[in-house]
Amino acid sequence: MEIQPNSSTNATASRAANAPALGIQGAGEKWATGQRIKFTTPKLEICIAVWNVQTGHHIGQKEIIAMELSKCKISIAAVSELRLTGSGTLTIPPPTIDKTTMLFYSGGKKQEAGIGFMVDRQAARSVIAFQPISDHLAVLTINGTVKTHILSTYAPTETSSDAAKDDFYSQLQHTLDMIPQTELIILAGDFNSHTGADRIGWEETLGRFGHGKINDNGLRLLSFAALNNLVVDNSHFQHPRKHQLTWRNPSGKDSAILDYILISSRFRSSLKDVRAMRGPDCGFDHYLIRAKTLRRLSGKSKSTNDNIKKVDGTFVSSPCEHLQQWKDFSQWLYNHDLPQGPPPEPPPVDSLENPFLISEPTVDEVKNAIRSLKNGKAPGVDQVTAKMIKAGGDILLQWLHIHLIHIWCLERVPSAWKKAIIMPILKKGNSRECKNYHCISLLSIVGKVFMKIIQSRLQKHCEQSSQEEQAEFRPHQGFIDQIFGIHQLVEERIRHGKQTIIIFINFKSTFDCVYWPILWRVLENEHVPLKIIQLLQAPYNGSTSSVQIQNELS
């Protein structure tokens, strides 16, 4: 969801209708320390709450609400009926030094309705953005293991006009349409609805522990939830009736469930418990609804290309400069000048070629190459993943075998195999220096299947000429024996009082730039057939690369 920054903390209801214009980016940064802050550890819980507070403009009322939330260890509370005008943020004075609370509010011109969020000091560090939409709807975006969007809502009452109800759900639907489906969505607020206990037709939306009978607002809420793959989580946890009901009539005669917490169905397991809390009491007729979640929230993360230094020591200041800096660095890293002088003369090649090496790939070789692919690896420019190839079964296997034979005979590869996407990943050291990043190249997965067939054949061919001392890069030949031999040698020399000097060589960026003519000559020295060498050369002839930063290509 794109949310634009806004320096103003007070806006009218008419301006609130234009949601992007009122977004407040990084509202929790005033408490940040400049480091990546993890909100919780995996063993701790995060408590999210819903509370209709009926008013927040009276002197001292906000402080009382914040104190009650602090007692219940609530990290984020979606509050409704704040009745504050305008939209913005406020810092609520703490009862103690560690209990500072930040209020994000969205209201209208009059002191009516109004909603917002009360966020404690620690959770505020994870706030990415706040988007006030109207005096009935606002969105708080939280950074975590999955980006989380919490929507604070205050729906029209059952007696309101159909037009008012339609407008509310239309605005709510428009807001959800702006959020990617892969991100976590939580709806929390006073929906003024009865969803009832009858699950027939709503099995995927409503749990087994509902209450009462459904009304018009309840039907609208369930229909909206089913359309957007949301789950009414109040009804999924068994509690005594007093811990289910969220509202009581001041006379004490009537009680009902009016406040709800809904969550994306794919993240249903993220909530551990939802119940009403009878302890917090500020004189309201609504009880506080608490939800325990197991999802972790973390500090606002920075992209790998933020604050990258240029060659002159200054920092890049725009996305275009980010991309250009990485492009220049990649060109410097990979496009070195070639060695001076002609390449060495090729050695004499045996007239007899190994028929196993030059024969067309078999179906079994293609199957073994596909099986050896690792799942979860990023695809190349063709966006074909290893899982997609494996899921194709025998039909795709036969089709791929035919095409690989065609490539084998023509010694020409598809253009997608010649394109690489370079992505920088921080290794260690200063994240502002490009040299501290490892640039990986994303290549076509189908091309890797073809190359694995050649690699398997070359390994069998080279194994015959490899010396016994060669460790690593060989099957079942690790370097444990060599390490054991060095240990024995050093121990004996120490026992005899002799000095031992061992030299370790660590080549920096060993394979960042390879002089291909030398590599082809090495293969010829190993008596690799010309057919195999030409197949290896095919993806590199006319190859190109692009740097990808934040889904933008150079």
pLDDT digits (tens, 9 = 90+) for 119-167: 988 888 888 889 999 989 999 998 877 888 999 999 998 889 999 999 9
Tokens of 320: 């275009």
pLDDT at 173: 93
Mean pLDDT to the nearest integer, 423-451? 83
Per-residue pLDDT tens digits for 299-319: 545 454 456 777 766 777 677
Q: Is the Cβ–Cβ distance between 386 and 424 less than 8 Å?
A: no
Nearest of 243, 260, 284 to residue 52 by alpha carbon: 284
Per-residue pLDDT tens digits for 192-220: 888 888 888 888 888 888 888 889 998 99
pLDDT at 32: 39
- Highest mean pLDDT out of 183-192, 199-208, 273-282: 183-192
Q: Is the pLDDT of residue 77 over 80?
A: yes
CATH of 35-293, one of 3.40.50.300, 3.30.413.10, 3.60.10.10, 3.40.47.10: 3.60.10.10
Q: Is the pLDDT of residue 102 over 50?
A: yes
Please state, in angstroms and rounded to a whole number, the distance separating the CA atoms of residues 81 and 189: 10
The domain spans of the chain are 35-293, 319-463+492-553
Average pLDDT, the chain: 78
Beta strands in 278-339, from DSSP E residues, in sequence order = 288-293
Mean pLDDT to the nearest integer, 238-261? 81
**Collapsing DSSP states into helix, strand and coil, what is residue 405?**
helix
- Which region among 75-79, 278-282, 292-296, 532-536 has the lowest average model confidence (pLDDT)? 292-296
Per-residue pLDDT tens digits for 140-150: 998 877 888 99
Please state, in angstroms and rounded to a whole number, the distance separating the CA atoms of residues 52 and 65: 11
**Collapsing DSSP states into helix, strand and coil, what is residue 325?**
helix
Q: Is the Cβ–Cβ distance between 245 and 277 less than 8 Å?
A: no
pLDDT at 11: 37
Mean pLDDT to the nearest integer, 323-333? 81
Per-residue pLDDT tens digits for 505-541: 776 666 667 777 888 888 888 788 888 888 888 888 8
pLDDT at 13: 37
44 vs 173 pLDDT, higher one = 173
Name the pTM for this structure.
0.51
Q: Which residues of 178-213 are buried (b: 16+ CB within 10 A; e: fewer)?
A: ebeeeebbbbbbbbbbbbbeebeebeebbbeebbbe
Q: Is the Cβ–Cβ distance between 466 and 482 less than 8 Å?
A: no
Angle at 261 between CA 259 and CA 265, to 5 degrees: 150
- Which region among 100-109, 117-126, 275-284 has the lowest average model confidence (pLDDT)? 275-284
pLDDT at 169: 93
Mean pLDDT to the nearest integer, 73-94? 85
- CA end-to-end distance (rounded Å), the chain: 24
Rounded to the nearest 5°, which phi and psi values hold at 148?
Answer: -115, 135
Percentage above 90 pLDDT, the chain:
14
Count of Cβ atoms closer than 10 Å to residue 472 Cβ: 8
pLDDT at 44: 54
pLDDT at 100: 80
